Amino acid sequence: MDTRLAGKVAIITGATLGLGKAGALLFAKQGASVVICDRGRTPQNAQRVLAEAEGLSGEIAYKRCDVMRKEDIQALVQFTLERFGRVDVMVNNAIIDNPGGLLEDVTLKDWEDGLFCHLTAPLLFCQQVVPVMIQQGGGSIINVSSGNALFGSPSISSYGPAKAGMINFSMSLAVTYGPYGIRANTLTPARMLTEKKFEMLKQNPAEVRRQNYVYPLGSPARPEQVAEVMLFLASDESAAITGHNLVADRGAAAFNPISVPGRLEANIRENLEAQGSEWIQAEI
């Protein structure tokens, strides 16, 4: 029987698709009671998660929550406490689309909305769950950041800065509340093969080919692979880890982008030689 989270209660925001969904199902498989949420704009997504959770050793409960609203955040935590009586794991995973561009293209509303969703909402959730965790004697907070937090971007938006802020916020939580048995870590994936990513790749064959060169392991991670890392941070197996930014990006952050042309050229040459192209000796 899978029992790595037996008896534990987790909240995962933005958990009806992608990484949040994969994490919720894995947590429930490992015996946890999991509360998931989204904005409720596509009820069928939540229904699919609940259906997939049937028969698992844990359970999943759904409640609509707009993380852009403080009162919704408070209501979600209260719902969790009333139903399950505790909160052992808090995963701040929800995101919103955050348009960007040149400086003159960035609107103040888009900037502030991105900061609120990706940095202020995690603060508000932690304000609600940390006192509960202190009373319980401990807990695990996992803030899901992004590869965009580690590098600059040709498109200015608040997404990268807010996700970078999550890393520092996690460190501060770890330092402040470690004496109470609370661990706080950041999980930083790159782009994953989520439902939206697959749709984008279907329309862009060139982008599919590019994946072979920007990820040392040859492709982006699947949400289920990153969810395994999330499970590790949630479980007692990571008891010695706090204040850490755990990067789970299939090697993208380790790869100097200057090396991409060299890898591309080597691949082209290999393919041409395999086809028996004689002119390659003169051209390369």
Cite the active site residues.
159
The two tokens of residue 148 are: 């965009």
In the numeric block, the tokens 């048995």 are attached to 181
Sign of CA dihedral 140, 147, 124, 92: negative
Burial class (CB in 10 A: 0-12, 13-18, 19+), 243: middle
Sheet with 245-248, strands from edge to edge, namely: 59-62, 33-36, 9-12, 89-92, 139-144, 182-189, 245-248
User: In whole angstroms, what is the distance from residue 218 CA to residue 209 CA?
Assistant: 10
Helix-strand-coil percent breakdown of the chain, rounded to 5? 55, 15, 35
Q: Which residues pair with 186 in a beta bridge?
A: 143, 245
Contacts of 60 (CB under 8 A, 6+ apart): 24, 25, 28, 33, 34, 35, 36, 49, 50, 53
Asked if residue 192 lies in contact with residue 18, where contact means CB atoms within 8 angstroms, the answer is yes
In the numeric block, the tokens 């920007």 are attached to 214
